[in-house]
Structure 1
């Protein structure tokens, strides 16, 4: 099976052939995969070098000319390093584009903390009007990439990961998918953590929702899942900074007695390279750790 990043190359290369309005801006990362597309479309595949602020500035400028830009590099260099440009060149200028990241929270441990961005979604939350997609499988990544490009002139962030679920799920529409139904709580799994959540909650009387579009947060879907009888227990399992969506879930359930537990990547920096799986376990996001944490939170009988 190809990776999400490989699928991004394939899909975007095809879209460049299909639509003259599409432009791709790169900062060296993944450039080798796009060299055939650059030879076919040298005016619309632009590599600015290792200049991430320029990457975003060029993308914003292309959007002002009427093009639909896709910007790509590692998450830490796409959202964190050029955040001022994201804020101004897209938000302040009221332009649209698609930011497509790679490496997510800790997908390349050998790159060290400079190449990790667990706070990217939380950072974008400080800005208005961004849609955020978090696919959990290459097939989902393809569908969400196409949706992001077709989203008029909206501002969209697509967060790609080396982690993946074994099977794709339908991602038509923004609403979370109900994977299991139960009566003792709701567990919302985001993107590539679905398989771990399903393994962790096996045999537990809980509803499992699966979300690949996390912004805007779907208040109605969460309210429908918990019902209106209360009290409600909700666990959010996100592949980025723990608690990123806790406030959104609390707001959605403001008139329902409820508790929310936000699980995700911890704030403490892990200063050993290790492997992706070891980082997942260290942050308590492997199936065993999740089962312990979810069971301890839910009321007796779950």
Structure 2
């Protein structure tokens, strides 16, 4: 995903004069020619995320389409006040592309983790949040939203889906299969695992890559059982408000597979962390079996 994003940025800088790109010590080699050829529009700001967002807000106010790139916790946790006041409050647009989704940077420890990103961004009205599951989907979503004049967050991962790669549309969930016993919501890079578990199950699978704005309509039309399993690569429960809001006042039975709400103090590889926190096919299968029993 990262290479695809940086290639798209290079094309944008060379062909769209009203665009700028700023980074915090990320992706400079891939964009070395653009940094050299367009120094006024393509810059490495250094470790200065909060100041960078305020600076870009001023550019956005003048009609410039800005894209910034960095590590997810520093682009969201460190800059939350700037997101709220410089962009959401003033109704200004920016494209914020963050790598290191959840525990992708597993060996660097808790300072580089950001499982809270979806919840934090969704708390600020007017923001958008996109979580593609593949490089192709990143391009589809970025091209649809990068000029919409809103603060849009793109969560890119180093662990994309490798089996299932459907076309997606910004703001819409994808119906992957239909069934009667339950509805499984697969978010972003969790699609491969969900489809593997659900292949022989009489369940509906909805694939979400746009988490804000949330597609209420597709969920309400494809949940006959009122039983929902959410499989999400962020803090579990990040989408519960949207699910209840979309389903109205009907009673629901909901379970989740996601990261627990706790400080991550352990170390290990990405796969070891996924297994430790039970974001696995076995966990999905167990919770789905309990739900439809």
Alignment partner, residue 73 of structure 2 = 76
State which drifts further: 25-34 or 13-22: 25-34
Runs of 4+ displaced beyond 6 Å: none
CA contact (8 A) 1:245 1:262 kept: no
Q: Report whether the alignment pairs 1:5 with 2:8.
A: no
Alpha-carbon distance, 1:68 to partner: 0.6
Matched residues in 2 for 1:145 and 1:173: separation? 8
Question: Which of 103, 108, 120 is equivalent to 1:106?
Answer: 103
Alpha-carbon distance, 1:173 to partner: 4.2
Matched residues in 2 for 1:13 and 1:295: separation? 47
Matched residues in 2 for 1:135 and 1:276: separation? 18
Cα deviation digits, residues 230-274 of structure 1 (max 9, x gap)? x51011111111000011101111232321223211122332321
RMSD: 1.4
Alpha-carbon distance, 1:195 to partner: 0.2
State which drifts further: 266-275 or 119-128: 266-275
Question: Which of 214, 217, 232 is equivalent to 1:238?
Answer: 232
Alpha-carbon distance, 1:295 to partner: 1.6
Q: Report whether the alignment pairs 1:165 with 2:161.
A: yes
CA contact (8 A) 2:193 2:280 kept: yes
Matched residues in 1 for 2:59 and 2:264: separation? 38
CA contact (8 A) 1:27 1:72 kept: yes
Alignment partner, residue 88 of structure 1 = 85
Q: Report whether the alignment pairs 1:154 with 2:150.
A: yes
Question: Which of 113, 116, 125 is equivalent to 1:116?
Answer: 113
How many pairs align? Answer: 292
TM-score relative to the length of structure 1: 0.93
SS of equivalent residue, structure 2 residue 17 = coil
**Runs (5+) with no aligned partner, structure 2:** none
Q: Report whether the alignment pairs 1:176 with 2:170.
A: no
Question: Which of 183, 188, 192 is equivalent to 2:189?
Answer: 192
TM-score relative to the length of structure 2: 0.96
Alpha-carbon distance, 1:125 to partner: 1.4
Q: Report whether the alignment pairs 1:282 with 2:279.
A: no
CA contact (8 A) 2:144 2:170 kept: no
State which drifts further: 140-149 or 130-139: 140-149
Question: Which of 244, 249, 254 is equivalent to 2:243?
Answer: 249
State which drifts further: 88-97 or 77-86: 88-97
Matched residues in 1 for 2:93 and 2:77: separation? 18
Q: Report whether the alignment pairs 1:126 with 2:123.
A: yes
Alignment partner, residue 286 of structure 2 = 292
Matched residues in 2 for 1:199 and 1:118: separation? 24
Alignment partner, residue 220 of structure 1 = 217
